[in-house]
């Protein structure tokens, strides 16, 4: 079983205290795997021009999870697991990203079951247009011009984290921003 933690794509980790695997593991036949994935701007930022894949491809957090599933397929038997019986389970943002896994061809065959806990169904995936608007705003918070990826790359980790938090605190009332102000979420990029 692979656990994907929640946290609004901006916080928490695979060691999230909400997961206490002792009961499952003590019954035998279960191997629990937890992972970390890139959060905030590190995990969900997309360059406005990235649709050509010439700059910063987005959905890095999602790509981290696909890589973890690929690793599980190759290695879980060494830990007593069965690669033909992988269950992905997640809570909140972890459940949200499971919804994306269900429709992602590169994830097909890497898992057989899912358990989705508290998926925020009212939070849609970003469209390319949403990503352009949100990331332009995030660049502004970093003191960069829209599309100035070199400026964003030069920003400190602390500045990037602060920009992510500021953006998530906003609850703008249009189709791009959710009622929770959750701007860091996967983009439906067709991959």
Confidence of residue 121 (pLDDT cuts 50, 70, 90): confident
* Residue 148: predicted pLDDT: 78
The predicted model scores a pTM of: 0.80
Name the more confident of 84 and 127.
Answer: 84
33-50, pLDDT tens digit by residue?
999 999 877 887 765 454
* Residues 46 and 135 sit within 8 Å (Cβ to Cβ): yes
Mean pLDDT of 165-175: 58
């Amino acid at each position: 079983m692979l656990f994907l933690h929640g946290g609004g794509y901006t916080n928490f980790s695979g060691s999230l205290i909400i997961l206490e695997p002792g009961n499952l593991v003590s019954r035998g036949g279960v191997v629990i795997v937890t992972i970390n994935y890139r959060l905030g701007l590190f995990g969900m930022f997309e360059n406005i021009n990235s649709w050509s894949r010439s700059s910063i491809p987005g959905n890095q957090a999602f790509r981290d999870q696909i890589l973890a599933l690929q690793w599980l397929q190759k290695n879980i038997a060494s830990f007593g697991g069965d690669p033909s019986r992988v269950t992905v389970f997640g809570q909140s943002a972890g459940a949200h990203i499971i919804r994306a896994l269900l429709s992602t061809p590169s994830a097909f065959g890497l898992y057989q079951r899912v358990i989705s806990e508290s998926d925020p169904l009212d939070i849609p995936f970003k469209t390319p247009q949403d990503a352009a608007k949100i990331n332009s705003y995030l660049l502004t918070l970093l003191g960069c011009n829209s599309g100035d990826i070199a400026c964003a790359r030069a920003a400190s980790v602390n500045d990037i984290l602060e920009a992510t938090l500021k953006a998530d605190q906003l609850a703008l009332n249009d189709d791009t921003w959710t009622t929770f102000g959750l701007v860091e979420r996967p983009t439906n990029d067709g991959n």
